Each structure stands twice: as structure tokens, then as C-alpha cells.
Amino acid sequence: MEIQWWIWLVLGFGLIVLELVLPTFFILWFGIGAVVVAVIAWLIPTLQLDMQVLLWVALSSTTAALWFKLLRKKTADVRWTADTAIGEVGLLTQTVSEFHKGRVRFQKPILGNEEWTCIADAEIASGERVRILAIEGNTVRVTRA
């Protein structure tokens, strides 16, 4: 049985279009492999079916492995710790004083929470920007920013 080069081309573009519909980011490499096999089969018309399939498997596996092992940008796993949260600035949503707890909201969650109960050594009015001095349990100690 002989498969024409254009069948590989249609299969390749079909897999690439399927990748646009399904957000797997894995089918793409099989589509690229099929397109490359189509070009090779067009250049070498005597290439047998078993060699075409073997090329397709090898090219697809190679492109997928290259992407996932070498070319994909590695993102660092950034996690908040109490030490890295010190110095972050937030907006006071509830007035805080020496004997009254307030509430502070941050733009990005700190240790899993956007809004924290806070304490301060002096009175700070609601709406002011404050900076974290320390994390004491589930409460943050703040001062004016």
C-alpha cells in the first residue's frame, strides 16, 4: 500500500487545527511530524509506508521531547513565605489603632489571603497605605508606608 505525500500533509494540518480546538499542547507535535513526513515523502517518492510511519513516530517524539525538555521556558515556583511578605504595601480598609484591630487589603494574595487583620503601634486612618512589619500568627503588624 502506498500513501501519497499529500495525505500526510492533510493529516498534519488536521492535527494542527485540532490542537487549536483542544488546549492540550501535545497534538501539535504529531501534526508537525506529519507535515515534515509529507515534505520528505514528496522529495523521496519511493519511500515505503513503514518507513513513513517510522519517520512520523520518530519526528513526533523528537519534537515533543525537545519542547518539553529543552525549549519550554522553565518558570520558577514562586511562593510567599513570611520573610518575603515583610515590606509589602497594602491599603488599609478599616482604621487601626494601638488597641483596635483593623483590616488591610493587598493587590496580590499574601500567604493565600488578600485581606488580613492588622495591628499597629499608632492610629492609622482607613484608606492609607501601610507596610507589613511582621506576621504574627494570622495577624500582620503594619506601619504607615
Residue pLDDT, tens place only, 48-73: 999 999 999 999 999 999 888 887 77
Domain 82-144 = CATH 2.40.50.140: yes
d(CA 124, CA 127): 9
| CA end-to-end span of the chain | 76
pTM for the complete prediction?
0.53
CA 139 – CA 131 distance, rounded (Å): 13
Taking the C-alpha atoms of residue 125 and residue 96, their distance in angstroms, rounded to an integer, is: 7
Cite the residue boundaries of each domain of the chain with CATH code 2.40.50.140. 82-144
In the chain, which residues have pLDDT < 50?
A: none
Contact predicate 95/125, CB 8 Å: yes
- pLDDT attached to residue 1: 66
Q: How far apart are CA 33 and CA 18, in angstroms?
A: 14
